[in-house]
Amino acid sequence: MPFTQGDTRPMDPHTPPLDPLPHVSLAFDDLQRLLLDAHAGVVMGLDLDGRLRWLNAAGQARLGYAARELDGVDLAGTLLTQDELDRHAAALFEELGEPVPANAAVLGVRLLRGLPPKDSAWMLRHKDGSPQPTRLAMGALRNDRDEVVGFVAVEPASPHDAPLRFAHHDNLTGLPNRAVLADRAEMALQRATRQGTVLALLLVELVGFDALCAERGRSVGDDLLRATASRLHFELRRTDTAVRLEGGQFAALLVDLNHADEAMAVAGKVRHALSAKVNVGVAILPLDVRVGLAWFPEHGDQLLPLLEAAEAALGTLGPDGDGLAAAAAG
């Protein structure tokens, strides 16, 4: 089945894995396999104009979009800023000695001119505006007449990429870590200031986590953390960020809210979902979860004051009560 622009036929989930990197020319059925496979990096299918046609699961998680949100969308102004396109167009001008349009089609210029493909550094943009440094290797998509009809952009996965990922993600749960929280909070706070919206920070604590690990073993604790991370991620919107901090503590960054009441509603929903019993091996464990809540602009205009306010809210929670508290008015 050759590739055609805008093709939305269902993908075959039973196809064996395909290593994308050795393939410069990919038919559409091969691309289907590639996108469905658990490739660790970003994979994008593009038409000749630089419009996105596919985004794999890793790309969706990395960039904060559902695939349907970007189908047919020009990368310029969404995943790529104009400054980034200008930078690559200027580099190609230096290499080719001729002007190159600074639009999303710049990704395929080398292939269309018959030059050998090479991977290069790109600064993709998350849905919340935060930068996502990425290396992309470009390949041509050809029809049965060997005509180039599109491109595939693949983020190479290699052992050298692992330290970079571990620097930004918790290797047990897969959630972003405190460094990512700081980066995204900075961007989101700037946007909230400009737009006059509310940003909220949830601090989530698994009560008695250390004692449970001591009693049942570290592996049970690890399973519990993974289950909690999955539940927390599921309860949030794609534009929000779930983060693993340390021990049995997590955080969630809620962005683009209209009122603080929305944050309280989400906090209540999160606590309810995370307090459900968890199946760990042959055991069903009850959970006691506490949530502290703070928000911009009421409790601070930087991440640290918001974290401190949420921590103080947690400190007000006793053994009884609903396990949810908002920070005191600033």
Higher per-residue confidence, 53 vs 11: 53
Q: Any idea what DSSP says for residue 159?
A: G
Q: pLDDT at position 281, please?
A: 67
User: Whose structure tokens read 């021990």?
Assistant: 247
Burial letters 34-52, b for 16+ CB under 10 A, else e: bbbbebebbbbbbbeebbb
Last residue of a domain, one of 103, 138, 157: 157
Span 209-213, average pLDDT: 89
Query: In terms of domains, do 60 and 194 share one?
Result: no
Q: How many domains does the chain fold into?
A: 2
Quote the tokens at residue 93: 């001008």
Query: In terms of domains, do 141 and 85 share one?
Result: yes
Helix/strand/coil for 67: helix
- Which has the minimum average pLDDT: 15-19, 110-114, 145-149, 312-316? 15-19
Q: Is the pLDDT of residue 252 over 90?
A: yes
What would the pLDDT profile of 103-152 be if each residue is shown by its tens digit? 888 888 888 877 776 778 888 888 888 788 888 888 877 776 777 788 88
Q: Is the pLDDT of residue 195 over 90?
A: yes
Task: Tell me the C-alpha distance between 132 and 183, whole Å.
Answer: 11
| CB within 8 Å of 27: residues ≥ 6 apart | 1, 2, 3, 141, 142
Q: pLDDT at position 5, please?
A: 35
Q: How many C-beta atoms lie closer than 10 Å to residue 252's C-beta?
A: 25
What backbone phi and psi angles, to 5 degrees, belong to 32? Answer: -55, -45
Does residue 7 fall inside a structural domain?
no
Last residue of a domain, one of 125, 157, 189: 157
The residue range of the domain holding 90 is 25-157
Query: In terms of domains, do 119 and 179 share one?
Result: no
Does residue 112 fall inside a structural domain?
yes
Task: Tell me the C-alpha distance between 195 and 6, whole Å.
Answer: 35
User: Whose structure tokens read 């600033």?
Assistant: 330
Query: In terms of domains, do 82 and 172 share one?
Result: no
Nearest one of 142, 141, 137 to 157, comparing CA atoms: 137
Q: pLDDT at position 130, please?
A: 79
Query: In terms of domains, do 316 and 182 share one?
Result: yes
Contact (CB, 8 A) for 153 and 136: yes
* β strands within the chain, DSSP E: 25-26, 43-47, 52-55, 120-125, 131-142, 148-154, 198-206, 241-244, 249-257, 278-280, 283-285, 289-296, 324-326
Last residue of a domain, one of 138, 157, 176: 157
To the question of pTM greater than 0.75 for the whole model, the response is no
Query: In terms of domains, do 153 and 195 share one?
Result: no
Query: In terms of domains, do 133 and 224 share one?
Result: no
Does residue 3 fall inside a structural domain?
no
- Which has the minimum average pLDDT: 76-80, 139-143, 152-156, 234-238? 139-143
Contact (CB, 8 A) for 168 and 149: no
Average pLDDT, the chain: 80
Integer distance in angstroms from the first to the last C-alpha of the chain? 62
Q: How many C-beta atoms lie closer than 10 Å to residue 319's C-beta?
A: 7
